[in-house]
Amino acid sequence: MKQRIFLFAAILIVVLASRESAFANDKCLACHRIAEDKPSALFLHDIHYAKGITCAGCHGGNPNADEIEQAMDKKAGFIGVPKGNDISKACAACHSSSEKMKSFGSSLPTNQWEILQASVHAKLSLKGKEHIAQCVTCHNSHGIVSVKNPASPVYPLNVVKTCSRCHSDIMLMRSYNPSLPVDQFEKYMTSVHGKRNAKGDPKTAECASCHGSHDIRSAKDVKSKVYASNLPGTCAVCHSDTEYMKAYKIPTDQYKKYAKSVHGIALLQKHDAGAPACNSCHGNHGAAPPGVESVSKVCGTCHALNADLFSSSPHKKAFDQRKLPECETCHSNHEIIAATDQLLGVAPEAICSHCHNETQNVKGYRVAKKMRGLIDSLEAVEKRDQELVYEAEQKGMEISEAKFRLRDVRQARLQSRTTVHAFSEEKFTGIITNGLKISAFIVAESESAIREYYFRRIGLAIATLIITLVALFLFLFVRRLEKKQNK
């Protein structure tokens, strides 16, 4: 027995001695390694360890002291396990100082703590004393590696899991913001981005790609990367980068096209928050282009009338059978420009002529031709009515009723453009006929007013002529009379 104890002590001494020489400058680590606790085990893989930073580098204290009282002495700067914001402050002590970072040969940014303070994660936690998230929340405390290291929790392939730790925790999220969804992870896994990420593609988008890392703000915050008017730009960071997207073989001109579109101009230039951004049609976490059959439903969330008319029109079946994406086929997906009447009809620039001509799909050809003819005639009629009303007005005639009805003609024309989507000759003709009827009334009133104007002047001329003649003759009569009287 004595021999065993002796052997054990000898081994211990040898081990200790060897250990001591291995952790010559970091006595903290040396002891904690003997204790074999988790933090010290992790720390061996830590980049800070690799750079020669001791435990005291974050925890303070004296890393050269052998005895625990001196090593973990408050007077030597030991702060123990920092709690709350003190954790991040400890990180920031170096990471926010460019000199310190340069001295370790690092070109990392030094503004993370500053940015974090302005982010949504800097809001006070439930306890009310510290930020919701500290540096270590996402980066870990003791096994910190570079973001580019696949072992890092913030390596692209790991980010989603890291964020989900909190953001998929229903009870936790509810205690902060009950209206915030908690299904982002599930949705993400159904998306193209999520599927690729799961397969191991580090280039594809994950949480931080769109939301940022340290600068995460609420989506309602104007400065957020995912605020409505900022969102297209955020998607474009990857999707408009031809080099970056080379391997994926999808177009990279969507942003450019979108910026030219009605939706793009509305959102990006006019700041109309009601206009759709990329996520409105593609979804945000479950991002995927809408399927062929569902395009009209997606567009229909805003363009309800057109979508309904289309869905009950003969085009729905025809398009679905030919795998033609519904609204997109005529209106494009990203470069949606304001539809004009030129789109309708059988002329070469009209879109109907792509499928309908004199020999193919003839019925549609006839209907398209008729519809275009009708809408053109209504437009011409409306213009002419405006001119007539203007003329009557300028002549000073009372024409307010007809002028008021002009609105209805215009309304009929606008409604007919929506009705086109029913692709029904009967429905379309009905609306146009209504407009033409109102126009007929306007024309009748205006022409009558203009005729009245001329009638008055001609009538006056005639009356003046008569009166002048009668006055003249009367005068001559009186003169003659008086001549006779004076004889």
| Residues at the contact surface with other proteins, assessed by CB under 8 A | 272, 274, 302-305, 396-398, 400, 403-404, 407-408, 410-411, 414-415, 418, 456-457, 460, 462-464, 466-471, 473-478, 480-482, 484-485
Closest CA to 147 of 94, 120, 107: 107
Instruction: Please state, in angstroms and rounded to a whole number, the distance separating the CA atoms of residues 199 and 189.
Output: 11
Closest CA to 275 of 255, 251, 247, 303: 303
Cβ closer to other proteins: 15 or 414? 414
Q: Is residue 71 within 8 Å of residue 62, measured between CB atoms?
A: yes
**Angle ∠(402,405,408) on CA atoms, nearest 5:** 160
C-alpha R_g of the chain: 41
Cβ closer to other proteins: 41 or 467? 467
Cβ closer to other proteins: 176 or 475? 475
Q: In the complex, what is the shortest distance from the CB of residue 383 to other proteins, in angstroms, rounded to a whole number?
A: 16
Query: How far is Cα of residue 178 from the mean position of the Cα atoms in its chain?
Result: 23
Cβ closer to other proteins: 13 or 460? 460
Q: Is residue 257 within 8 Å of residue 280, measured between CB atoms?
A: no
Q: In the complex, what is the shortest distance from the CB of residue 485 to other proteins, in angstroms, rounded to a whole number?
A: 6
Q: In the complex, what is the shortest distance from the CB of residue 286 to other proteins, in angstroms, rounded to a whole number?
A: 24
Tokens 């126009």 locate to 439
Q: In the complex, what is the shortest distance from the CB of residue 268 to other proteins, in angstroms, rounded to a whole number?
A: 15
DSSP letter at 76? Answer: G
Q: In the complex, what is the shortest distance from the CB of residue 428 to other proteins, in angstroms, rounded to a whole number?
A: 15
Cβ closer to other proteins: 223 or 271? 271
Instruction: Please state, in angstroms and rounded to a whole number, the distance separating the CA atoms of residues 96 and 112.
Output: 7
Q: In the complex, what is the shortest distance from the CB of residue 378 to other proteins, in angstroms, rounded to a whole number?
A: 14
- Determine phi and psi for 341, rounding to 5 degrees: -65, -20
Q: In the complex, what is the shortest distance from the CB of residue 481 to other proteins, in angstroms, rounded to a whole number?
A: 7
Cβ closer to other proteins: 366 or 403? 403
Cβ closer to other proteins: 323 or 484? 484
Q: In the complex, what is the shortest distance from the CB of residue 294 to other proteins, in angstroms, rounded to a whole number?
A: 19
Can you state the angle between helices 156-167 and 192-199, rounded to 10 degrees?
120
Q: Which amino acid is residue 67, in one-letter code?
A: E
DSSP letter at 324? Answer: -
Write the secondary structure of 381-397 as one string of H (helix), E (strand) and C (coil): HHHHHHHHHHHHHHCCC
DSSP letter at 248? Answer: G
Cβ closer to other proteins: 130 or 379? 379
Cβ closer to other proteins: 13 or 444? 444
Cβ closer to other proteins: 16 or 305? 305
Q: Is residue 135 within 8 Å of residue 91, measured between CB atoms?
A: yes
Side-chain-facing half-sphere of 29: CA atoms under 13 Å: 25
DSSP letter at 290? Answer: P
Q: In the complex, what is the shortest distance from the CB of residue 311 to other proteins, in angstroms, rounded to a whole number?
A: 14
Instruction: Please state, in angstroms and rounded to a whole number, the distance separating the CA atoms of residues 484 and 256.
Output: 101
Q: In the complex, what is the shortest distance from the CB of residue 81 to other proteins, in angstroms, rounded to a whole number?
A: 53
